[in-house]
Structure formats: C-alpha cells, structure tokens
Structure 1
Amino acid sequence: MDVTYENTAQTVRTDKGVLRYHEAGDGPPLILLHGSGIGVNGWRNFGGNLSGLAEHFHCYILEFPGFGASDPIPGSHPVLTAVASVVRFMDALAVESAAMIGNSMGGVVGAMVALAHPARVDKLVTVGGVGTNIFSPGPSEGTRLLREFADNPSREALIRWLHCMVFDPKWVTDDLIAERWQAATQPAALQTLQAMYGSKAAALQQQSEAQSKVPPYWSMLHKVQCPTLLVWGADDRQCPLDMAQIPLRLIPDAELHVLSNCGHWVFLEAKQKFERISVEFLQR
C-alpha cells in the first residue's frame, strides 16, 4: 500500500483542542503511539511502518499534544496528557476498543490506558520503555543525553542523542539531523521536551515521587488484562534490556522478543522483523 504524509493526514476536534493523526488501511483498528525525544512525532516514528501494517489493520498514528502537531495542553505532564488524549481520540472517532503499538513513551501510555480503561485495549505491543531499570544505571545514557539537550539545545547534542538511539550509525543521516533539528527547536516541542527531561523538571519529579502516595505505574502492571508483546533491541541505550524484566514478570499474559544488533528504534533498524512479529502477535 502506497501511503504518504499528505494522503493519510487527518484532524479531529475534541473538547480540548484538535488532535492530528494519520489513517490508512482496513480491518481491525490499530492505534500507534509515538515516543518522546528530540524532534519526535507520530509520523517520524511510524510513518515508515504504516504501509506494511495497513495491509492488515485500520491504522491510526496519533499525534500527542505538545509535540508540534496536535494542539498543546499546558499545565499537565506530557505523559498524562498523552494518556488522556488516547481516550479522547477513541471517543471522537467512535473506536470502542483497539490494539495498540507504543514506542518507548508510547508503550508506557498504552500500558497506562490498559490499566485505567482495560476494555479499550485489545492487545498491546510495546517497543522498549515499559518498566524500570534493575541492573543498568538510571537515568540511562539516552536519558542523560536528552537532559543535556533540554538544558542546552545544540546540533551537537542532538547528534549525540541520535547515535544513542541506533545500533548502526548509518541511520543517522544528514537529512535526519536536519529534520530533527528543525522540529526540536519549535517552541511547543522544546517546551514539552524540557517538561519531561530538563534538569529542573527532573528535580521536581523526584520530589513529587518522594511525596506521592500513588505507586509508579510499573508496579501496577500485574493489573494489565490484555495480551502484551514486549519488543526490545538488545543494544538499547535509551531503555536498557533489563527494564523488560519487570513487565515480563508482572503482566499476566506477556512475552518478550529481543532483536540483536538493534538499538532503541526497533521499528527502524529491524523494520521487516518488527512488522512481521507485531502482525503475527496481533492476528494470533
């Protein structure tokens, strides 16, 4: 199926602003949830996978508020805003339930939707992100590089982070650097990145977590009711592989697929394998 940015782009108005998304294919609904990072959005994460997945599913790539495409919602943490936006999006399009694929932060968002609204998530595929560090240092190398960029944006800091996302440096092209730099310096996108990874935000989050009586989401993963596939790159330096142990142990119906010679961007570096594994799991 031939898909482009232009012929798949859609908008829907909700009570908290416009949500933008990309739509393609027929079949059971599949919502793709993008990650966080420098210059990220839904199309940049999953645009290259849309053609393959749309052969089997009615696909929606949702653009989270605050990342430069959908209308921003000030005053809330970007992850919580993203979780609420998934439910608003499904309500606006009258999608009662759907399978979901979430990359990194998108996997966390998908898991949180499954925890809060179990009837809305049929199956869940996560690409890194879900869980917490057990053996590896925290914050991870990738998170430290995100903080470096959030505190002092520069092309050099962007390039260091991009190289951290992949196993093979061939993926860090001049075009990718230029595209991400242009996107990352947009005010709304930079503000969202700083709210997630900046030093001040990190300090406030640590203080909030210390005072909060609400347990972290990953400690509640035993309540996820849907079958869940955890996909991980063996060489992930953003979300190291040991993070997978907690969701694999806690989620009642979970399985883990690890891809060698692959970093955090599994959907890019192992495109065909990722799509084949995901389709097989979702159609099972």
Structure 2
Amino acid sequence: MDHLVNNHVLINNTRIAHGVHGDGSPVVLIHGTPSSSYIWRNTLPALVAAGHKVHVYDLLGYGLSERPWDPEIDTSVTGQVPILEGLLDHWGLEDAHIIAHDIGGAVAQRLAIFSQPRVRSLTLIDVVSFDSWPSKRTHQQMQAGLGALIEAPDADHRAHFRDWLLSTVQHKERLAETSLETFLEFIANPIGQGSLFQHQVRHYDPKHTDELTPRLAELGQIAVQLIWGADDAWQVVDWARKLHEAIPGSELHVLEDCGHFAMEDQPEKISGLLVDFLKRKG
C-alpha cells in the first residue's frame, strides 16, 4: 500500500512520521484509534484537488511513528497536543484548518480551546467528547482485564481485533478487501500488540475531554463542522447532537449507512462535505 506519510521528524525527541501533499491553504488531518493516517487515503486527494496543502501524520505511538519504550512518555490525548504544536512549527504553520477523527478529535478540541489562534476552522468526524469514551464494548474489555489480551498468542490477538475493527464500519467486506489488514498489522505482532495497550488502550480516559466540557462553547468563535455516521456503534449519534448543542453555530451532518470509520464507509460524501465547508469558511 502507499502510505500518506513519507517523511520523519523529531518532535520533543520522538520520531513522527508525516507527509505534506498539494499546495494552497493549509489543512491538517488527525486520525484516531486504532488506526493511522492511512484512514485519510480516500479523502486527502479531494482536498488537494480543491487547492489545499494537506498535512498528515501518525500520532506518537501509532502507525509509522515511533512507539516509545519508555512508559513515562505521554501518548495520551493530552500528551499528543505538544506533538501537534511542534509539527505545526516544523511545517511553518501559524494556523490551519483542522480535520480530526475519533480520539484525534479530542486532540483537536484541546488545541482549539487552549491555542485557538492556531485553528482556522474545525471539522470533527465521529469524535470522542464529554465522557463518551471508551466505547461500551471497549469498556467491557477493560473491566474484564487487559492481561489476557496483552499476553494472547498473535493468532488469537489478530482474530479478536479483526472483529473489533470490522465493528467500525457498515461495509465490512469492503474494509476487509482494502485497509483492514493494514490497520491490523499496526496493532499486531510482538511490537504492535504491546504498543496497542501501552500507547492507546491504557489512555482511553474521558478525563481528557471532561476537562473541556465547560469550555466547549468557546469553539463557537471559529467555524465548526460535525460529521457523524448514523450507524456509529462506538460513538453513537446522540453524542453528535450533544456536541452540536454545546458549540454555538456548529454544523451537523449525519450520514446514513455509515459507521465509526466514516471515511471508510462514505469517503465520497465526506470528501464533498470537507471541500464545501472549507470553500465556505476558508
């Protein structure tokens, strides 16, 4: 497969994989868990064609970026914000349009609230917010104890998380035929399996978004678009409506036949919404 990140840079002494595509007004794409920047492969081309310079990267501990061995290195949502700010500086961007998915949306919300001048507009796609996470299924796994999953044989781990990833979409056969194995490979094998729990699952904590709840109205000072899968089983659409009510002037688009990995289920519709929003608000 062709990854969107083809460069590497040290940010805060950690290696981050990133890529820059096209020319024009700056856009930054932030993925979530348990995915990588690869999830943007079907939407990035439309943004480039519409005249945007698109900046994409893998979160620290994810995808092709470094998987720190030191447990003291913070790869939580809060810990990812300084990485993003360092990347903005590396890219020479004072500000940019931010488009984010899943927990990447929490990183984006924190940036927009605590460093609002750096955000021209904000698009949040099936993101975590309030105390909406971890999802019911993941919470049950965590309550049952992660030890068995961490120490499971590779084949059992792959089978479990293949099913987990398939629950993110409506079009399961299409995911299986395209990106499923790519996403799975990042969180499998001896390195990926341990990294999944060290850098992702152990940081599924709503404290990172609960802190933002009383300040969400401040996001009304910038243009905000919410895009949600009507069939999202991880972040049900009720959270989208609650977030929409909390952010004055925000736009909400709910897409039918669309799950949590919305860019996998409805890439054409999402590409159209992104291009239109940036044209109107850019």
Describe how 1:125-140 pairs up with structure 2 within 5 A: 125-132=123-130, 139-140=134-135
Aligned mates of 2:41, 2:140 — CA distance in 1? 25
2:158–2:188 Cα contact (<8 Å) kept? no
For 1:25, the equivalent position in structure 2 comes to 22
Q: Decide whether aligned partners of structure 1 residues 10 and 139 sit closer, same or farther in structure 2, where only a CA change above 3 A counts.
A: closer
For 1:197, the equivalent position in structure 2 comes to 201
Read off the aligned partner of 1:87 and give its amino acid letter. E
- Indicate whether 1:172 and 2:172 are aligned: no
- Indicate whether 1:49 and 2:43 are aligned: yes
Count of matched residue positions in the alignment of Structure 1 and Structure 2: 266
For 2:116, the equivalent position in structure 1 comes to 118
Aligned mates of 2:168, 2:140 — CA distance in 1? 10
Aligned mates of 1:227, 1:242 — CA distance in 2? 21
Q: 1:84 aligns with which of 69, 82, 100?
A: 82
Aligned mates of 1:10, 1:193 — CA distance in 2? 23
SS in 2 for 1:173: helix
Q: Deviations over 1:104-134 (max 9, x none)?
A: 1111111110011000000011111242468
For 2:161, the equivalent position in structure 1 comes to 158
Q: CA deviation at 1:186?
A: 5.1
**Aligned-residue identity in percent:** 23
Structure 2 gaps, min length 5: none
- Indicate whether 1:240 and 2:254 are aligned: no
Q: CA deviation at 1:230?
A: 0.5
- Indicate whether 1:267 and 2:271 are aligned: no
Q: Deviations over 1:63-91 (max 9, x none)?
A: 11111422345422421222111100001
Give 4+ residue runs of structure 1 displaced > 6 Å after superposition.
Answer: none
For 1:181, the equivalent position in structure 2 comes to 184
- Indicate whether 1:63 and 2:67 are aligned: no
Structure 1 gaps, min length 5: none
Q: CA deviation at 1:253?
A: 2.7
Q: Report the TM-score when normalising by structure 1.
A: 0.82
- Indicate whether 1:252 and 2:248 are aligned: yes
Deviates more, 1:241-250 or 1:23-32: 241-250
Q: Decide whether aligned partners of structure 1 residues 227 and 171 sit closer, same or farther in structure 2, where only a CA change above 3 A counts.
A: same
1:5–1:22 Cα contact (<8 Å) kept? no
Alpha-carbon RMSD: 2.8
SS in 2 for 1:281: helix
Deviates more, 1:247-256 or 1:116-125: 247-256
Read off the aligned partner of 1:267 and give its amino acid letter. M
Aligned mates of 1:174, 1:278 — CA distance in 2? 25
Deviates more, 1:229-238 or 1:78-87: 78-87
SS in 2 for 1:48: coil
For 2:138, the equivalent position in structure 1 comes to 143
Q: Decide whether aligned partners of structure 1 residues 5 and 92 sit closer, same or farther in structure 2, where only a CA change above 3 A counts.
A: same
Read off the aligned partner of 2:32 and give its amino acid letter. G
Q: CA deviation at 1:182?
A: 2.3
For 1:220, the equivalent position in structure 2 comes to 215
Deviates more, 1:49-58 or 1:75-84: 75-84
1:21–1:60 Cα contact (<8 Å) kept? yes
Aligned mates of 2:117, 2:188 — CA distance in 1? 38
